[in-house]
Amino acid sequence: MVFDFTGLRIFTDSAPAAVQAANLFAEEIALRAGAAPEIVQEEAAPCVSFAVDASVECKDSYRIALENGVLRLFANGIRGLIFAYSMFLRKITVNGKEIKLIKDISGDYSPFMKIRGHQLGYRTTPNTYDAWTPDQYYRYYRDMMFFGSNMCEHILDDSEAKRNWLMKYDPDDMLIEASKLADELDMDVSLWYPNSSDTIEESARRRRKVFEKTPRLNVYFPPGGDPGSYDGDEFVERVRAAGKAIKEVNPNAEVWPSAQKPHEFQNWAEPFIEEMNKLPEEIDGVITGPNWALPLDELRRQLPMRYPIRLYPDITHNVRCEYPVHYPYDDWHYALTNTLSRESVNPRPVEYRRIHRLTRQYIVGSVSYSEGVHDDVNKMVWSDMDYFGEVPLRESLLDYSRAFFWGAPAELIADGILGLEQNWIGDPAENGHIESTLRIFEEVLAKCPQLYDNWRFEMCLFRAKCDAIVKRRRLFELALLENAKYYILRGELEKAKEVLNTDFDEDYKVLRQDIEVLAERLFRQIGLQLDVERYGTNSWERGATLDTIDLPVTDRAWFLNRMAYAEEKLPESERLPFLKKLINRNVVSKDEYYFSFSEHGTEVLNTNQEGYIYYNFQGDRVPVNNGSIPMSMLKVFDNIKLKAKIGGFTPGCDYNLRVSFLNKTYPVFIHHYVKVNGNTVYDGKQFGGEADPKFDEEMLAPNFVTATYRIPAEYIQNGCIELEMGEPHMGVMMSEFWIVKAK
């Protein structure tokens, strides 16, 4: 059933919170329908009525009643009333001045999670927030509250004294102003404030002063490290001292340290838990997130129940992070990882729904780790799950569309957002969603040209065009490589080089220019910084898509690099044999085996890997990926051990295992081992085995080396190898391996 609220009026009781909520609601309707509703003295349909009701159980809850064209909103304060009218905004369609409520939203609403929010740090690191004004913070607070957020988190870092050219305000002043604006909406404020090198007493005094001068600070959040690293027991001591000083200023302020292990302390968790078991009264809860000292379930088992846990989920990064794309497999295709990198526009609603379900039973809520608006969809969907629990994901995306893309077809927008996530599955050359997703956003724009001034829509369109560029370039270059290999095998090296240097067609160049235009618009509209030089983002991995979008997506640049190497370093008689060897670099016989983490992923190794898998991805690092590295070496597996089960080897034959390692040496690396079917092939100092400098120079990227180990025939069981490689303390960092018959 649809209810007509065209020409709606507003009625409010005299409570200040109701009047304030009514005025905010009027502004929202004016944005959507072009004119603010009239505030009237009595309820007359169509009408939205605001009332403060002390019987509503808490300030995060609200009640809605719809009767005879009058929608009545009840809450016990401004926060609940904002949540209530936001539900209305999420369930209306707007067409010019016409407003239709698509369903009866009557009911009592209470949150699933107690804490629901996002980090919006005003510092040089993010790719958006440092360009904002207080008004933009205020607008974004209200947007967050559409989906039930009750907390924003700001950042104060003593170690980061510098300001960049984007920042219009001193960070301390912005904290005060942003806190005051949050207070107007009754939004709680958390402060991420790391430890410094001050004495414990001076550190506590400094934090007390911050709480004294800031209008609203509800939570003090000191991370366990990154920066501000101390061993677990001293960390708790510092937190307690700061907490005591803060609570003298504001007895209701809460102290929530994070169980985040600094890299330099191997045994950080044990003294931390030992101190927490003493039940320090200055501490109210514990946060966990990236670089956790203990997995979430283990932290909950070891931490006294007096202390609830708040999650600090990383919804902002795509690679080299807590939840990489396709967590826990981390198998985002290198063509996309190279070009879109760590903080590109990244709607991942389906994936974060699964992560939310994995974590929610242990926690009382979350405040996400965010470095800009590129994760806007993730923020709103995560908050919606925090408020409603098992809310249907598509309903969240439809609400997102109706709340922010008024006048546009919500179903198409939701399909487009889901399409952006599907775009990142598998090899873009094999992904049929990419072009159809772009067509969705182009179709919506053709129907609703006003969306060209909507930064959220432009952000989605920007991502869709970037995905299409990657796919089109990869298809184009793969075809060039096949043609070039054909000419190399025929000995026509100049023709091969000519093929590899073929320019892109005009359609590709137009598309590439489109993303430049969109990037400039997004910078002006919301401060999104999509490159370092022009728009001022902190570094290439902080969402600087324009700095990475043209990086290699195939071995085209690598082949040109190797052809130049052959011309410069090899006599003419050796060039063709070398290039033929290059073509066959990764080719082995059926009774041999080649594996690349980048090309194949660990799933084909036929066994689960132990521990938390981390890939030290190389491909988006400018200028590392400038043609000097083959695509097969882009992912560096960094783990305590690697396991594989492989068959098909010839019985009675010795084999050689050749492994390419990242050439970082550590003196403590004394038990690097290789085992085959339980038999030790090697155990000793780092790498070991037989070196091959010529192969390394010709076939590897700089800063990599190979080591070769002999596998005796008697170690191979009926043609099968169960391989294990590792080091018990530092682990191994490798990118690929070959198992080939020994000559």
Q: Which residue has the tokens 């919170």?
A: 17
Q: For the residues of 454-515, what is the DSSP string, one character each? A: -HHHHHHHHHHHHHHHHHHHHHHHHHHHHHHHHHHHTT-HHHHHHHHTPPP-HHHHHHHHHH
C-alpha distances in Å from residue 514, one per residue of 186, 249, 468, 634, 683: 41, 53, 12, 29, 55
The residues near 429 (Cβ < 8 Å, ≥ 6 apart) are 335, 471, 474, 475, 478
Whole-angstrom Cα distance, residue 309 to residue 260? 13
- Alpha carbon 249 to its chain's center: 36
- What is d(CA 420, CA 405) in angstroms, rounded to the nearest whole number? 17
**CA-based nearest residue to 557, from 473, 622, 486, 500:** 500
What is the dotted CATH code of the domain comprising 587-741? Answer: 2.60.120.260
The average pLDDT across 105-122 equals 98
730 confidence band (pLDDT: 50, 70, 90): confident
Residue 162 above 90 pLDDT? no
Peptide bond between residue 251 and the one before it cis (omega within 30 degrees of 0): no
265 pLDDT above the threshold of 90: no
Q: Is the dihedral of CA 461, 462, 465, 470 positive or negative?
A: negative
Between 191-205, 246-260, 362-376, the lowest mean confidence (pLDDT) is in 191-205
Q: What is the dihedral of CA 445, 449, 453, 454, to 10 degrees?
A: -50
CATH code of 3-109, in short, is: 3.30.379.10
Same fold, 3-109 and 115-389: no
pLDDT tens per residue, range 544-557: 999 999 999 999 99
SS3 state at 594: strand
In the prediction, which pLDDT does 675 show? 98
Tokens 């952000």 belong to which residue?
459
What the block records as the tokens of 214 is: 């800031």
CA distances from 86 to 10, 21, 456 (A): 15, 11, 18
Nearby residues of 72 by Cβ (< 8 Å), 6 or more positions away: 43, 49, 51, 64, 65, 66
Residue 581 token pair: 């060897």
Per-residue pLDDT, 158: 67
Q: What gap in Å lies between CA 258 and CA 293, rounded to an integer?
A: 9
* Minimum mean pLDDT range among 70-79, 152-161, 396-405: 152-161
**CATH 3.90.1300.10, applies to 115-389:** no
Strand 151-155 to 188-192 pairing: parallel
Contact by Cβ (8 Å): 510, 469 = no
Choose among 735, 605, 601: nearest CA to 324: 601
Cβ neighbours for 462, distance < 8 A, ≥ 6 positions apart: 345, 515, 518, 519, 522, 530, 545
DSSP annotation of 578: H
Average pLDDT, the chain: 95
Domain spans of the chain, in order of start: 3-109, 115-389, 587-741
Structure tokens at 684: 């000793």
Give the containing element (helix H, strand E) for 244: helix 232-249
pLDDT at residue 612, rounded to an integer:
75
SS3 674: strand
Alpha carbons 570 and 369: distance in angstroms, whole number: 51
3-state class (DSSP) for residue 377: helix
Quote the pLDDT of residue 159: 62
Angle at 253 between CA 251 and CA 259, to 5 degrees: 130
Q: Compute CA distances 160 → 122, 124, 155, 681, whole Å.
A: 11, 8, 10, 49
User: Which residues on neighbouring strands pair with residue 101, listed in sequence order?
Assistant: 3, 92
CA dist 470 and 461 (Å) reads: 14
Task: Give which of 50, 21, 25 is closest to 37, Cα–Cα.
Answer: 25
Give the global pTM: 0.96
Q: Give the model confidence (pLDDT) of 208-220 as tens digits.
A: 999 999 999 999 9
The tens digit of pLDDT for each residue in 293-330 reads 999 999 999 999 999 999 999 999 999 999 999 998 88
Question: Phi first, then psi: what are they for 679, rounded to 5°?
Answer: -90, 135
CA dihedral (242, 245, 250, 251) positive or negative = positive
Of 36-50, 219-233, 466-480, 713-727, which range is least confident?
219-233
Residue 25 and residue 19: Cα distance in Å, rounded? 10
- Average pLDDT value for residue range 619-626: 86
Beta-ladder partners of 682: 674
- Distance (Å, whole) CA 551 – CA 521: 23
